[in-house]
Amino acid sequence: RTLCSSLQTKMAAMMTKSASTTVAAKSGRTSLVVPRAAVDWYGPNRPKVLGPFSKNDTPSYLKGEFPGDYGWDSAGLAADPKTFMRYRQMELVNARWALLGSVGIVAPELLSTYGNVPFGEPVWF
C-alpha cells in the first residue's frame, strides 16, 4: 500500500470512531486515541469556506480527507487525484524549505547577539 492510501485509511478510521474509542495502528504494537476535536475537522461536517452558506456547493471530489480541505477549489487543482497528490507533495517540500530558511535567518542573529560570532552587517535584500 502506498502512503496516501494508508493515510486515507487512517483518516477514515478516525472519522468513524467516537472520541473515547482507540484506533489500532498498523503495527499492532501501539494504539492511537483520537480526540473528538480532531474528528470535527474532517469528513462531510467539516468547516467549509463560506460557513453555513456553503451547504452543497462544494465540489464532489473534495470530501474532507485532507487537512485544509474547506470545500473550495475554484481552479479545479484537486480534480485529478494524481495531480493533487503531486501538488500536495510539492507544497510539503516547499514548506520544509521555508522552515529551513527561517532557521537561516534567525541563527545568525542569535549567534551574533549571544555567541559573539561576528557576521558583519546584515543585508536582507
pLDDT in tens, 54-113: 777 788 888 888 888 888 888 888 889 899 999 999 999 999 999 999 998 888 888 888
- Cβ neighbour number for residue 41 with a 10 Å cutoff: 16
Please tell me the predicted confidence (pLDDT) of residue 35: 66
Look at 12-16, 45-49, 68-72, 120-124 and tell me which has the smallest mean pLDDT. 12-16
Cell numbers standing for residue 103: 532557521
Q: Is the dihedral of CA 7, 9, 12, 16 positive or negative?
A: negative
Residue identified by cell 477549489 is 73
pLDDT tens-digit profile of 12-29?
665 555 433 444 444 555
17-35 burial code (b ≥16 CB/10 A, e <16): beeeeeeeeeeeeeeeebe
